[in-house]
Structures are given as structure tokens and as C-alpha cells.
Amino acid sequence: MDWQPIETAPKDGTEILGYGPWAGECGGVHAGAEVCTIQWKNGHTDYRGYEWEVTHSDMYGVWQAPTHWMPMPSPPGEPIL
């Protein structure tokens, strides 16, 4: 699937890939546009317009304003030994 406008992203807490110029941190980095795993957290933020939270991070969560999204890929299969 290709990148979709963020307005079409699920807003039920589903974890997705988000792309955009981050206002906070994504993986500890402060600059540029990045890809992060995110989920909708509307109603759980003090920053209106930044209702997306970076998942699996201890950084400031709900400071994200992504412009695009896509579903998470399937995990890889069993490793070949």
C-alpha cells in the first residue's frame, strides 16, 4: 500500500506508520521528516493539533502532526537456520 493522507488514518488506537515533520521527538531525533510507529490519542493531549502519539518510545508522546500514514507491515517469517 502507498502512503495515504493522514485524514484517512484509523482513529481507533491502531498502530500505524506515520510520516511527517515532527514537532517533538521520534526515536530521539529532533530534525526533519521521519517515519515512526504512531497511534491516535485524541483527547489525551495538551497540544491541540498534535493528537498522534509515537509508540514504543519514552519520548514526549503526543507531539506528532504526521501528514501521511500506511498500515504496519506484516512481521517477517521464521528465520532460516
pLDDT tens digits, one per residue of 7-53: 999 999 899 999 887 655 555 555 455 788 888 887 665 666 667 88
Q: Residue 60 pLDDT more than 60?
A: no
Cβ within 8 Å of residue 58, ≥6 positions away: none
Question: Coil, strand, or helix at residue 39?
Answer: strand
Indicate the domain borders of the chain: 4-71
**What pTM, to 2 d.p., does this model score?**
0.72
Residue where the block lists cell 493539533:
49
Sign of CA dihedral 33, 36, 42, 46: negative
Strand order in the sheet with 52-54: 4-5, 68-71, 16-21, 33-40, 52-54
